[in-house]
Structure 1
Amino acid sequence: MTNTFQTIAKFALNRRVQDFPDSALEAAALMLLDTMGITIGSGPMQAGQIARDSAVALYGAGDPGLSARMLFDGRKVSVAGAAYAAATQTDNLDGHDGYNPTKGHIGVAVVPALAALAETVADFSGPEALATVTIGYEIAGRAGISLHDTVSDYHTSGAWNALGVVAVAARLRGLSAEQMRQAMGIAEYHGPRSQMMREIANPTMLHDGSGWGALVGVSSAVLAEKGFTGAPAITIEADEVAHHWRDLGSFWQMENQYVKPYPICRWAHAAIDATRALMREYGLSHQDIAAIQVNTFHESACLFQGMPDDTSKAQYSLPFAVATMVAHGRIGVEHITGAGLSDPLVAAIVDRISVAETARHSDRFPQSRVADVVMTLTDGRELASGDVHARGGPEAPMDRDEVIAKFMEFATPPLGVSRAAAIRDAVLGLQSPDAKFSDLGALIHDAADNR
């Protein structure tokens, strides 16, 4: 067992709740709330329905001790199936949090795993829930950075957030350090090392692989608990990645996640925000705009062009996102589903948008997502935004009230105001020493149409 893994095991299995900074636990509560809002908002969408029905068909639990109710559904499946269904559902509404250095998302797998695993263990405190979420984020984030630093392909989040899920499972289910080590090795070996740019080029319900990350992470922990073994995880134990783990417990990635203002791929957000800023500053409407030139980083320029014909393409389309902001002044679920996909005003604006890669923006990726926009107005004026950071991250953060308001925006349509507000209050209340996870658990399993 390497020194790096011993450090990780102590952090995940033995660190006391009181040893986590309050600021990290506060961030964990907000990220838990934000992720839960997207889980709720994505529930009626086709991908979520398919994921839940498939979990029932494929991932039933023969062992009652390893079964769990699916979030906002209520049907029981295996604990791995419940984590898979919620993570896949959440992944298909691209509004969940992320971390710039990993080029991906953590909460989308960690939060569904926490909720599923909580069904298999005795109740635990609210602060313990937030500490466990933090552990998942800290370990998944560093595993992602280690993977990106040591391989040539750009892999989806499921390839590495599975290791954060293992950490969550190991802490909640009381695995030994050796069992956790084996589970990490199993999860890394079987993690979905799917190639992200293939999905960017051809957007589908595959999204960022996080459903499989959750499935693999939980399954690996159960396998290791039963005695299955796996080769050591090289993103943790290889010498060349040791430096990525040295700040574990001193630098809190938990406090540096970004929150998405829009349910659109993060790579499009800087261009959306630059467009939004110009329109607000000059009091513009779509009728004032003749053309928009978007200058962005390479990965962003690779996003889907033209008018999308399904919600997956809509969430991975930069011109469509910018056009929607121009047309409606916001981007909600209704704009990326149903009639929003054939909005004639948005389609007309898409035709006025050009996208180009700009070297200075590419040079700052993945640490930053920056773009600039040049608008040509119908009166002949030209307006330049200058370089704009995507809102919601450390460079341009959303405040606490904005994150809470976003949750209510996404959670209210499926659940109604009273149930959404009760979940909001329960999540934020987990910081109280007297809180129990069951305070939240009692609210998140009944089907969404139980209003």
Structure 2
Amino acid sequence: MTTPEGILDFIAELTWDDLPPQVRRQSKLCLLDLIGVGAGGAGTKLSRIIRDYSALDMGGALPMMFDGRGASVSGVALAGGMTIDALDGHDGFNPAKGHAGCGVLPALYGLAQELGDVSGQEFLLCLTLGYELACRTAMAQHASVPDYHTSGAWVAVAVAGLAARLMGLDRAQTAHAMGIAEYHGPRSQMMRCIDHPTMLKDGSGWGAMCGVSAARLAARGFTGAPALTLSTDHWRDLGDTWLICQQYFKPYPVCRWAQAPIAAVLDLQKRHGFDSRAITALHIVSFHESVRLGTKQVTTTEEAQYSTSFPCALALVHGTVLPEHVAEAALDHPEVQRLSSILTMGEDAAANKAFPNRRMARAEITLAAGDRLQSDWFEPEWDPTDPPSKEDLEAKFFNYAGPVLGQARSQAIHRAIETLGHTASAQPLLDLLAQPIS
């Protein structure tokens, strides 16, 4: 078992040469995907509100992602985390039931902007470190309490650790930073936002802000109780097993719990060739949490993203689910609303038992001609056991970023990421991310 002291050593001493080639490749893919999702999220009302708030109430000189206005480093982390989280298309970690990169990246971006001399290798190294710290903290925290809390709770601890490294804090200060973040991290109840979808989302931005603030407090001598999550056996293979390589990616910008149902209904439509207007009944069998995504008639993008029925309806009408389909201007689609309203759901004991490591669903569709179709069991696409190709993720990035940033800027970001491990400075990429959206 790795001790808390060993974890602190790992944070301070990890080098680029310690990362296996597949980990280096994965860090770039995660970075590309997060930026694409963040670009898509920047056009939401949620993102506009939080960026306005950060600019006005958390003032500073550091440019926010996709905005350019200045904020403090904590404000930059908050705004960036909530902007990525505004479009539920980012990567995640099944055992944690949540997302590491969503909060880690904007905190890292803000810290790198403040320091100004972060190399490309160090940027990717710290992103990788953030995933390792976040995912292990998540498993430890989830094992400590029965309530399911948001990603911000454990992202805060990870961000405090990587911030301490970048800021050059000593071991004792790093321990205090992570203890402060664990104590103040937003242990918000995730299922409340599932039952009542709002802009609260997964707490990722709040966790990023908390982690950055904790490190800055520790640097000034503020003390925190030891982080209890560092004294568990979830760290025993730290540095040997790289959890960044165990992330899933999302083909669709909605909750992961709705992705298997989408796969099931699309398979039936592909195999039987029916038009959505021929459907008279639609039933999904899945696990409890998926069934809890119960909003049928949606009026906001948050409701659309935290629903099972609405994304299934979108998929049956459009053949896929893209950011433009969950944008608020597109929600009042009569056929999508009709299908969403008639969809029913039921739980399955085997699917419940398999969760969270597996998210299973099957679909039953009745057509006007009387045909009753039933799918096989499906799991979400792009799991770590069957990951997307580099080309898949590049296509997703351009689908999400292109309409918001333009193709020229999107291509420049892609090129900057491709060469990041060989550049003396991450600043060219940071400058591209800082530019406001039109």
Q: What residue number does 1:64 align with?
A: none
Q: What residue number does 1:291 align with?
A: 281
Residue of 419, 428, 435 corresponding to 1:439: 428
Please give the per-residue CA displacement for 1:272-312, whole angstroms capped at 9, x wherever unaligned. 11111222223232133332210010111001331111111
Q: Which amino acid aligns with 2:392?
A: E
- Partners of 1:95 and 1:261 lie apart in 2 by 7
Residue of 180, 183, 188 corresponding to 1:186: 180
Q: Secondary structure of the residue that 2:111 maps to in structure 1?
A: helix
Deviation at 1:130, TM superposition (A): 1.2
Residue of 142, 161, 164 corresponding to 1:167: 161
Residue of 220, 223, 235 corresponding to 2:229: 235
Please give the per-residue CA displacement for 1:329-353, whole angstroms capped at 9, x wherever unaligned. 1112222123322110101111331
Q: What residue number does 1:392 align with?
A: 382
Give the direction of change, closer, same or farther, for the CA distance of 1:420–1:376 in structure 2 (3 Å limit): same
Q: Contact 1:71/1:445 (CA < 8 Å) preserved in 2?
A: yes
Gaps of 5+ in 1: 62-66
Please give the per-residue CA displacement for 1:232-289, whole angstroms capped at 9, x wherever unaligned. 011113xxxx211101111111001111111101110010111112222232321333
Q: Secondary structure of the residue that 2:361 maps to in structure 1?
A: strand
Deviation at 1:142, TM superposition (A): 0.6
Please give the per-residue CA displacement for 1:143-163, whole angstroms capped at 9, x wherever unaligned. 011111110110000011111
Deviation at 1:3, TM superposition (A): 5.8
Q: Contact 1:25/1:127 (CA < 8 Å) preserved in 2?
A: no
Q: What residue number does 2:219 align with?
A: 225
Deviates more, 1:114-123 or 1:93-102: 114-123
Deviates more, 1:277-286 or 1:149-158: 277-286
Q: What residue number does 1:212 align with?
A: 206
1:247 aligns with 2:237: yes
- Partners of 1:366 and 1:389 lie apart in 2 by 12
1:375 aligns with 2:369: no
Q: Which amino acid aligns with 2:125?
A: A
Q: Secondary structure of the residue that 1:299 maps to in structure 2?
A: helix
Please give the per-residue CA displacement for 1:163-218, whole angstroms capped at 9, x wherever unaligned. 11112212211111111100000001000010001111101000001111011000
Q: Contact 1:267/1:299 (CA < 8 Å) preserved in 2?
A: yes
- Partners of 1:368 and 1:180 lie apart in 2 by 35
- Partners of 1:295 and 1:77 lie apart in 2 by 46
- Partners of 1:4 and 1:136 lie apart in 2 by 18
Q: Contact 1:83/1:215 (CA < 8 Å) preserved in 2?
A: yes
- The 5-angstrom pairing of residues 276-425 of structure 1 reads 276-425=266-415
Q: What residue number does 2:36 align with?
A: 37
Q: Secondary structure of the residue that 1:443 maps to in structure 2?
A: helix
Deviation at 1:380, TM superposition (A): 2.4
Q: What residue number does 1:60 align with?
A: 59
Q: Secondary structure of the residue that 1:74 maps to in structure 2?
A: coil
1:9 aligns with 2:3: no
Q: Secondary structure of the residue that 2:432 maps to in structure 1?
A: coil
- Partners of 1:127 and 1:211 lie apart in 2 by 24
Give aligned pairs, total. 438
Q: Secondary structure of the residue that 2:280 maps to in structure 1?
A: strand
Q: Contact 2:2/2:236 (CA < 8 Å) preserved in 1?
A: no
- Partners of 2:423 and 2:72 lie apart in 1 by 30
Identical counterparts, % of pairs: 43
Q: Contact 2:361/2:377 (CA < 8 Å) preserved in 1?
A: yes
Q: Secondary structure of the residue that 1:342 maps to in structure 2?
A: coil
Deviation at 1:69, TM superposition (A): 1.1
Q: Secondary structure of the residue that 1:194 maps to in structure 2?
A: coil
Give the direction of change, closer, same or farther, for the CA distance of 1:395–1:277 in structure 2 (3 Å limit): farther
- Partners of 1:145 and 1:3 lie apart in 2 by 15
- Partners of 1:358 and 1:332 lie apart in 2 by 28
Q: Which amino acid aligns with 1:319?
A: S
Residue of 195, 204, 221 corresponding to 1:201: 195
Deviation at 1:435, TM superposition (A): 5.2
Please give the per-residue CA displacement for 1:399-440, whole angstroms capped at 9, x wherever unaligned. 111111111111111111000111111112213x34531231
- Partners of 1:374 and 1:437 lie apart in 2 by 50
Q: Contact 1:162/1:188 (CA < 8 Å) preserved in 2?
A: yes
- Partners of 1:112 and 1:438 lie apart in 2 by 14
Q: What residue number does 1:448 align with?
A: 437
Q: Secondary structure of the residue that 1:261 maps to in structure 2?
A: coil
- Partners of 1:49 and 1:16 lie apart in 2 by 37
Q: What residue number does 2:127 align with?
A: 133
Please give the per-residue CA displacement for 1:39-74, whole angstroms capped at 9, x wherever unaligned. 11111211101101101122123xxxxx52101111
Q: Which amino acid aligns with 1:42?
A: G
Q: What residue number does 2:148 align with?
A: 154
Q: Contact 1:307/1:347 (CA < 8 Å) preserved in 2?
A: yes
